[in-house]
Amino acid sequence: MKKLTTVILLIIFNLSFFNPVQAATASPSAAQELLERVATKVATLAEKLKKGVAGEITVIGTKTISLGNQRVLVSEATTYYRIKSGAKTTIDFKNLLKGDDVAVVGTADSATGDITARQIIAKVQRLPLTGKVTTIDKKTGVYTLAAGEDIKEVEIDSLTIIKKVDAKGVFIKVKLADIIVGDNLIVYGYYNKPNDPLTTIKADIISSN
């Protein structure tokens, strides 16, 4: 903003410097024309100075992603990160998923509006799933949840925060072994890949068998 303000002042100064008499005796129409010229120049500069955008990925192309109507171009120079539990890890373009919330840092093309990304940072989406535990594979840590005809696989391990409602209706922290077949769970997690089990960050046992 400071840079843009400085540029605006320089524009006004230059226009006044090269037209000193007109600036001093400008008619209302001439003054309006001057303001319009400045406004147009400022709008063009603002577009050129645009360096970032954030939003949900709606389309993933070969070397592009779209955040709604905003197209983002990527190249070999683009770096990718994912934020999970406050930690940043390096990922690749192929790890970006439709629906990811991302922040893009780069430069905009004033003619097309496309942004060429220097860096893309994706946040982990915490998705909720609800269902009854029907199977438990202790070797892989994969739990099958059934909600009517909808069957989902979730991965729960010792790092998952697990809580259970006690007799007073208060959630208390429990162990992984406290989850048994027949329990009704609400789990919150994310997908590393679309067809993988949901990696569970938090699991609440809302009722037991």
Rounded to 10°, the helix 2-18/28-48 angle is 140
User: Would you state the torsion angle of the CA atoms of residues 198, 199, 201, 204, taken in this order, to the nearest 10 degrees?
Assistant: 40
* Domain extent listing, the chain: 2-48, 52-123, 127-207
Element (DSSP H or E) covering residue 7? helix 2-18
Same CATH topology for 52-123 and 127-207? yes
- The per-residue pLDDT of the chain, averaged, comes to 79
> What fold, for 127-207?
OB fold (Dihydrolipoamide Acetyltransferase, E2P) (2.40.50)
89-122, pLDDT tens digit by residue?
Answer: 899 999 998 888 888 888 888 888 899 999 998 8
Residue type, 82: R
Quick one: pLDDT band at residue 22, thresholds 50, 70, 90?
Answer: very low
Interatomic CA distance for residues 169 and 159, integer angstroms: 24
- For the segment 73-86, what is each residue's pLDDT rounded down to a tens digit? 999 999 999 877 66
Q: How confident is the model at residue 24 (pLDDT cuts 50, 70, 90)?
A: very low
For domain 52-123, give the fold: OB fold (Dihydrolipoamide Acetyltransferase, E2P) (2.40.50)
pTM of the model: 0.47
Evaluate whether 173 touches 161 at the Cβ level (below 8 Å): yes
Task: Give the residue among 121, 154, 116, 120 at the shortest CA–CA distance from 135.
Answer: 154
The 3-state DSSP class for residue 1 equals: coil
Q: Which residues of 161-185 are buried (b: 16+ CB within 10 A; e: fewer)?
A: ebbbeeeeeeeeeeeeeebeeebbb
What is the rounded distance in angstroms from the CA atom of residue 150 to the CA atom of residue 153?
A: 10
